[in-house]
Structure 1
Amino acid sequence: MKIQIVADSAADLPLEFVLKNNIEVVPMNIQFGDQTFKDGIELSKEAFYEKMSISKDVPKTSLPAPQAFVEAFNKAKDKGPILSITISAATSGTYQSALVAKSMFDHPIEVIDSLNISMGTGLQIMKAQELIDQGLSLEEVKEEILRNRNNYHTFIAIKDLENVIKGGRISNWKGNIAQFLDIKPILNLFPDGSIKVVANIRGRKKQLRRVLELFQETNKDVSKEPFVILHAKAPQDELDYLIKEIRRILNPKEIILGELGPAMGSHGGFGSIGFAF
Structure 2
Amino acid sequence: MDSFAIVCDSSHDLPPYISEKLRLTVVPYSINFGVDSSIDDGVMSPEEFAELLDRYEKGKGYPTTAAPAPSRFVEAFKANVKKGLSRILTVTVSGRLSKTYESAVQAADMVKEEYPDSEIEVVDSLSGSMAEGMLVLEAARVRDLGRPLHEAKRLLEEMRGRVRLLAALETTKYLVKSGRARSFQHMLSTALRIKPVITAREGAIALYSRVRGRMERAVDHMVDEVQRTYKSGIVAVVEGIAPDLREMIVHKLCQRLGINREQIVEAQMTSALLVHLGRRTVGVVWEEEEPQPS
TMscore range, shorter length? over 0.9
Paired position in structure 2 for 1:244: 251
1:91 to 94, 97, 100: 97
TM-score, structure 1 normalization: 0.92
The match for 1:226 among 210, 222, 234 is 234
> Quick one: which amino acid aligns to residue 279 of structure 2?
F
Match of 2:158 in 1: 147
Between 111-120 and 239-248, the greater mean CA deviation after superposition: 239-248
Q: In structure 2, what is the equivalent of residue 186 of structure 1?
A: 197
Establish whether residue 82 from structure 1 lines up as the match of residue 93 from structure 2: no
CA distance in 2 between partners of 1:135 and 1:101 (Å):
25
How far apart, CA to CA, are the structure 1 residues paired with 2:100 and 2:64? 15
| 8 Å CA contact retained: 1:260, 1:274 | no
CA 1:169–1:23: 2 relative to 1, 3 Å: closer
- Distance in 1, Cα, partners of 2:152 & 2:180: 37
1:64 Cα offset (Å): 0.2
Question: What is the CA distance between 1:44 and its match in structure 2?
Answer: 3.3
Partner residue in 1 for 2:291:
none
Indicate the residue corresponding to 1:258 in structure 2: 267
What is the CA–CA distance in structure 2 between the aligned matches of 1:102 and 1:134, rounded to whole Å?
25
Task: Sort the Cα spacing of 1:220 and 1:28 in 2 relative to 1 into closer, same or farther, 3 A.
Answer: same
**CA distance in structure 1 between the aligned counterparts of 2:128 and 2:38, rounded to whole angstroms:** 22
Letter in 1 for 2:257: L
Gap runs ≥5 in structure 1? none
Using the alignment, how far apart are the partners of 2:224 and 2:196 within structure 1? Answer: 15
Could you tell me whether the CA contact under 8 Å between 2:15 and 2:268 is conserved in 1?
A: no
Q: Please state if 1:8 is matched with 2:41.
A: no
Cross-structure match for 1:40 = 42
**Gapped runs of 5+ residues in structure 2?**
287-294
Aligned to 2:280: 271
The CA deviation at 1:150 is 0.8
1:202 aligned to 212, 220, 230, which one? 212
Contact kept in structure 1, 2:14 and 2:133, CA below 8 Å = yes
Q: Would the alpha carbon gap of residues 45 and 205 (structure 1) be closer, same or farther in structure 2, given more than 3 Å must change?
A: closer
Aligned residue runs from structure 1 range 66-81, under 5 A: 66-77=70-81, 78-80=83-85, 81=87
1:94 corresponds to which letter in structure 2? Answer: T
Aligned pairs, how many? Answer: 271
TM-score normalised per structure 2? 0.87
**Secondary structure of the residue that 1:150 maps to in structure 2?**
coil
Aligned to 2:69: 65
Question: Which of structure 1's runs of 4+ aligned residues deviate more than 6 A?
Answer: none
Distance in structure 2 (CA, Å) of the matches to 1:250 and 1:90: 32
Kindly tell me: are residues 138 and 166 of structure 1, through their superposed partners in 2, closer, same or farther at Cα, counting changes over 3 Å? same
> Residue 52 and residue 60 in structure 1: after superposition, are their counterparts in 2 closer, same or farther (change >3 A)?
same
Where does residue 128 of structure 2 map in the other structure?
117
SS in 1 for 2:89: strand
Structure 1, 105-114 or 43-52: larger mean CA deviation: 43-52
Percentage of identical aligned residues: 29
The counterpart of 1:100, out of the listed 97, 103, 106, is 106
Deviation at 1:258, TM superposition (A): 2.1
Question: CA 1:59 to 1:258, structure 2 compared with 1: closer, same or farther past 3 Å?
Answer: same
Contact 2:135 2:156 in 1 (8 A): yes
Secondary structure of the 2:267 match is strand
Question: For the residues of structure 1 that align with 2:88 and 2:75, how far apart are their CA atoms?
Answer: 13
> Quick check: 1:58–1:163 contact (8 Å CA) kept in 2?
no
Number of the residue aligned with 2:142: 131
Distance in 2 (alpha carbons) for counterparts of 1:189 and 1:122: 14
CA displacement at 1:96 relative to structure 2: 0.5
CA RMSD of aligned residues (A): 1.6
Counterpart for residue 21 of structure 1: 22
